[in-house]
Structure 1
């Protein structure tokens, strides 16, 4: 549709809602990971509604569900299959990590979840969990975590 402003606005608003929600719910109201989850959920709902409104501004009704024709399905498949395969691989990998963390006990699951939620786990480990054991374990994996994040970013880039 050659509309980059609609998604950009939705992304900015969602990021602000998520960040402010994290600070209020986690830092001031001490809801921890549950607060971060609520902030993320609200930000995603708002972003989705903003995207639907952007469609409405272009003359489309984003609330209508239409079954695509076989030709349209094939076109969608051609356009989205590389991204679909990449995203499914990512979901499978994250599910495998969660399965392994779960099999290692409750404490490991908590540490895994806290690391998944934080952007700067080395600087603000108390933001999502005040447990000293969780913070100690997080500091043990900071270097491999940083390397993994760095490598993930480079694999997402396209030529």
Structure 2
């Protein structure tokens, strides 16, 4: 199943990339031409890609470790966990458009010729509010289905009991996820990549320590899911603290400006 999901994602992203390149090609860009990048271009790509890679890897690794912890608790517990984590993954994609919106519109407000940090703050506020509403809606719907209709996924009553044990932490983690996406999208838009990767790495390390502690000392699936809640809300808190800071990108006119000038010069 995991391998099949990887192949499906690869096919989806490949098709999406092809369609985007085809659209650029129809507009006069040479999207299908390939050139060897220079050392400076490679360095610039690395400066952007490395922190994003650390961020994405930390998230994937934490979810993998969460499943690994459930594996050590027996087949019944693992089955209940797999059902809930798959539903969680299906519901979390609803927050991705908020991240994409922030990455599309905020760079011009932060670094553009007509930069306006007030508008950037207003946009972020709107995205967080929409994220909270989306989190409440999706979280409620995503919790009601396994709560009232668990037989859509399994007929085993013991597996259903394991699913119901994690409903509260499941909802708590899912509720904040769209807002997390909007905040992290704003950090990506403002090129605050070092902080994003460092905060994600710190959340991953602390979450991993707590997850291993819970698994070894208590062997409780419910506590493991509460560690997931800690991981999600820690990401929310660290990103929000950075964005509302007086020295952050949305309040400091000189934030990251020398680096931006260097990019423009190249």
Matched, 1:56 2:22: yes
Q: How does 1:3-152 map to 2 (within 5 A)?
A: 42=8, 45-59=11-25, 60-61=31-32, 68-118=37-87, 119=91, 120=142, 121-152=146-177
Matched with 2:199 is: none
Equivalent residue, structure 2, for 1:30? none
| Higher relative helix content | 2
* Unaligned residue ranges in structure 2 (runs of 5+): 26-30, 92-141, 187-266
Aligned residues: 123
Secondary structure of the structure 2 residue equivalent to 1:104: coil
Contact residue 76 and residue 162 of structure 2 kept, 8 A: no
Q: CA deviation at 1:146?
A: 1.0
| Structural RMSD (CA) | 3.1
Alpha-carbon distance between aligned partners in 2 of 1:157 and 1:99, rounded to the nearest angstrom = 29
Question: Which consecutive aligned stretches of 4+ in structure 1 deviate over 4 angstroms post-superposition?
Answer: 37-44
Unaligned runs of 5+ in 1: 1-33
Tell whether 2:181 aligns with 1:156.
yes
TM-score by length of 1: 0.60
Is contact 2:81-2:162 (8 Å) kept? no
Pick 1 or 2: higher relative contact order, CA cutoff 8 A, min separation 6: 2
CA distance in structure 2 between the aligned counterparts of 1:134 and 1:87, rounded to whole angstroms: 30
Shift in Å, 1:145: 0.9
Between structure 1 and structure 2, the one with the greater Rg is 2
